[in-house]
C-alpha cells in the first residue's frame, strides 16, 4: 500500500511534464528559423570595395604617374661642351645630288652634324631629309631658295622661313626653330619679326664653295677651329665629302668633340637669338 500513493502522484504529474516538454519543443521550433535566417545573411562584399579601389588607381591622371627620365643635355653621351672642347660641323644648301655620299661618309666616321636645308630642295628631295634625321643629324632652315633676308621686308623674310620649316617638318616630322640666314645676312628687325626662330651663323668658313679643294677645305676646318666653333660647309660641294675624313681626324687630334648645334649648348636654344659660336671651356 505504501507505493500506490507515489505512483498516483507521478501519474497525476505526467500531463504537467508533457506540457512543459511540449512548450519547450514549440519554443525551440521558433528559434530554428531565426538562426537559419541569421546564417543566410550575406557577408559584406569586400571584393567590391577592393575592385573600386583598383579602378581609382587605374584611372589615375597622367600627372600622378612618375615622370619619364629626361634626356641628358650636351653632346653624345651627355658631353658638357662648357667643360670639354666641342665643335659643330654644319652643311648648307641641301639636300642635293651629293647628300647620300655625304651622309654615307658621316656614318662611316661616326659623326653627327647639322643640316641647314633650303625649302625648295627639301621639297624636291624629301627622302634625303628624312635620312638626315634617321642618321641622327640635326636640322635647320636656310630659306626657301637662298634669298637674302635683308633684301626683303621682314614680313616676307619670316614667311619664307616659316614655309621652309613647314617643308622640313613635312619631309622629316621634325619641328625646327633654327634658321641660317643665307649669306649670313640678317638684322635686328628681321630677327625680331621672326618670332619663335633662332638664327645660327658661324665663325669658321671652310670656303669649300670657292676652292672645291679637299686639302684647303680641311685646312680651314682644322686650323681655324676653336672651342665652341660652328664650322660652315656645303652639302652641294662634292669635294667637302672627300675632305671629311681628314677634317674629322684633324679635329679629334686637337681634342675636339664633334657635336650637333643643339648639343653645342647645355640649355635648349631659345628663339630670338643670333648665335655665332657655342660654349667653350
77: left (phi over 0), alpha (psi -120 to 50) or beta: left
Q: Compute the distance between CA of residue 264 and CA of residue 87 in angstroms, rounded to an integer.
A: 7
Q: Compute the distance between CA of residue 115 and CA of residue 132 in angstroms, rounded to an integer.
A: 8
Task: With CA atoms as reference, report the closest residue to 91 among 208, 10, 188.
Answer: 208
Task: With CA atoms as reference, report the closest residue to 166 among 131, 119, 199, 132.
Answer: 119
Q: Compute the distance between CA of residue 281 and CA of residue 265 in angstroms, rounded to an integer.
A: 12
Q: Cα–Cα–Cα angle for 153, 182, 264, nearest 5°? A: 120
Task: With CA atoms as reference, report the closest residue to 178 among 241, 242, 120, 230.
Answer: 230
Q: Which residues form the catalytic set?
A: 92, 234
Name residues whose C-beta falls within 8 Å of residue 204's C-beta, 6 or more positions apart in sequence.
87, 220, 221, 224, 225, 226, 229, 230, 231, 232
- Residue 178: φ, ψ to 5°: -80, 130
Q: Compute the distance between CA of residue 93 and CA of residue 201 in angstroms, rounded to an integer.
A: 14
Q: Compute the distance between CA of residue 60 and CA of residue 65 in angstroms, rounded to an integer.
A: 8
- For residues 51-86, one letter each, b for 16 or more C-beta atoms within 10 angstroms of the residue's C-beta and e for the rest, the string is eeeeeeeeeeeeeeeeeeeeeeebbeeebebeebbb
Amino acid at each position: 500500500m505504501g507505493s500506490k500513493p507515489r505512483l498516483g502522484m507521478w501519474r497525476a504529474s505526467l500531463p504537467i511534464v508533457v506540457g512543459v516538454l511540449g512548450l519547450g519543443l514549440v519554443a525551440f521550433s521558433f528559434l530554428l528559423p531565426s538562426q537559419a535566417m541569421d546564417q543566410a545573411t550575406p557577408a559584406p562584399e569586400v571584393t567590391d570595395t577592393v575592385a573600386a579601389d583598383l579602378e581609382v588607381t587605374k584611372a589615375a591622371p597622367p600627372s600622378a604617374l612618375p615622370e619619364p627620365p629626361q634626356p641628358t643635355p650636351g653632346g653624345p653621351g651627355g658631353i658638357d661642351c662648357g667643360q670639354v672642347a666641342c665643335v659643330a660641323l654644319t652643311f648648307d644648301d641641301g639636300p642635293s645630288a651629293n647628300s647620300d655620299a655625304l651622309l654615307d661618309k658621316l656614318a662611316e666616321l661616326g659623326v653627327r652634324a647639322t643640316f641647314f636645308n633650303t625649302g625648295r630642295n627639301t621639297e624636291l628631295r624629301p627622302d634625303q631629309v628624312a635620312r638626315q634625321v634617321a642618321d641622327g643629324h640635326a636640322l635647320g632652315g636656310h630659306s626657301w631658295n637662298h634669298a637674302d633676308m635683308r633684301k626683303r621686308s621682314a614680313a616676307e623674310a619670316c614667311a619664307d622661313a616659316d614655309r621652309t620649316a613647314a617643308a622640313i617638318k613635312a619631309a622629316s616630322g621634325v619641328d625646327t626653330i633654327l634658321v641660317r640666314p643665307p649669306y649670313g645676312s640678317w638684322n635686328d628687325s628681321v630677327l625680331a619679326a621672326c618670332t619663335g626662330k633662332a638664327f645660327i651663323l658661324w665663325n669658321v668658313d671652310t670656303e669649300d664653295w670657292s676652292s672645291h679643294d679637299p686639302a684647303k677645305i680641311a685646312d680651314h676646318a682644322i686650323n681655324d677651329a676653336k672651342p665652341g666653333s660652328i664650322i660652315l660647309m656645303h652639302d652641294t660641294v662634292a669635294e667637302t665629302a672627300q675632305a671629311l675624313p681628314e677634317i674629322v681626324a684633324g679635329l679629334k687630334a686637337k681634342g675636339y668633340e664633334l657635336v650637333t648645334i643643339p648639343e653645342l649648348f647645355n640649355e635648349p636654344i631659345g628663339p630670338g637669338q643670333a648665335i655665332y659660336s657655342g660654349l667653350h671651356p
